[in-house]
Amino acid sequence: MTLPAHRGIQVWREDGAAPDRVAEEVPVALRYNGEPHVVMMCTPSDLEDFARGFSVTEGIVEDVAQIGAIQLRELSEDQGFEMDVAIPQSCAQRLAGRQRQLRGRTGCGLCGAQTLADVLRPARRVPAGVAVAAGAVRRALEALRRQQPLNAATGSTHAAAWATPDGLIVAVREDVGRHNALDKLIGHLLATNSDLARGFVVVTSRASYEMVAKSVAVGMPMLVAISAPTAYAVRLAEDAGLTLIGFARAHRHVVYACPGRVSSAPLGTPG
């Protein structure tokens, strides 16, 4: 991939010009078995992870093992990227029946849905998971601030991170779109056979419907967001048994759904 995730600009101050950076945002066309499906606006990094995560969380495949080769092609003249994802014929036929050939904006939360039935499908139940000390949430938030190089350079990207029950960050993905960042993280975790029942996800955004839905789709038991959730997201979390935390800060957070996984036990020393 030749296109960087950011490009250089100049900032003018009283004492002259200084270099700075702005995040890239490019169209990424997803094709399944050669058939066009959707065009998303993404940061051009970790795109194979994005394809895996999107394919699972949008219900195109039931398991990441059903995804075969992913062919990534950069288009000419800064036109973005095209990815052809190989999936079983049965999945391709089901996808064709849904007639989901759409253009997804960066902030689009229902980019894959054509009907209300697609959006309002019953939530699956997430695993019981493990207890997470309140201090682990704070530890993960503090660690995540230091693990967002693209946002540090540009100030315009979201991050999604996976943390162990004691709050250690083990994976981070960034993107201009909050749900893209989460799909990238999920794609990476699934590809590396991570145990998604043992840990929690942290996102640097609000906890809207699609953030909860994607977490539930792969069995993540806890979602921590630095901003507020929507009422629909809270209802979905309650139906799925997902612990939903919002307004997560260094010294406080709000538990909106399923508080039983949040423990008041003291946090141990990280290993």
Q: Please report which helix (H) or strand (E) contains residue 69, including its range.
A: none
- 94: region left, alpha or beta (phi > 0 left; psi from -120 to 50 alpha): alpha
Domain match, 83 and 166 both = no
Strand pairing category for 35-42 and 102-104: parallel
Give the pLDDT score at 99.
54
Q: What's the mean pLDDT when you consider all of the chain? A: 87
Tell me: pLDDT of 107 over 60. Answer: no
* Domain contains 139: yes
The DSSP annotation for 81-110 comes to EEEEE---HHHHHHHHHHT--EEE-TT-SS
- Residue 86: both structure tokens together: 């190989």
* Domain contains 3: no
Domain match, 39 and 153 both = no
**Digit-coded pLDDT (tens) for 161-213:** 999 999 999 999 999 999 999 999 999 999 999 999 999 999 999 999 999 99
128-151: average pLDDT:
94
Q: Please report which helix (H) or strand (E) contains residue 196, including its range.
A: none
* Domain contains 10: no
- The residue out of 58, 87, 119 marking a domain boundary is 119
Domain match, 64 and 145 both = no
Number of domains in the chain: 2
251-255: average pLDDT:
93
Give the pLDDT score at 271.
46
Give the pLDDT score at 265.
78
**Digit-coded pLDDT (tens) for 48-59:** 999 999 999 999
**Digit-coded pLDDT (tens) for 5-32:** 555 555 566 776 666 678 889 999 999 9
Which CATH number belongs to the domain containing residue 62 in this structure? 3.10.20.10
Domain match, 193 and 81 both = no
Give the pLDDT score at 16.
67
What pTM was estimated for this model as a whole? 0.88
Which CATH number belongs to the domain containing residue 202 in this structure? 3.40.140.10
Rounded distance, CA 44 to CA 180, Å?
11
Closest among 156, 224, 240 to 185, alpha carbons compared: 224
HSE-CB for 200 with a 13 A CA cutoff: 30
HSE-CB for 119 with a 13 A CA cutoff: 11
Active centre residues (catalytic) = 108
* Domain contains 32: yes
Domain match, 156 and 227 both = yes
* Domain hosting residue 97, numbered range: 26-119
Domain match, 169 and 235 both = yes
Reported as a pLDDT band with limits 50, 70 and 90, residue 117 is: low
- The residue out of 59, 85, 119 marking a domain boundary is 119
Give the pLDDT score at 104.
52
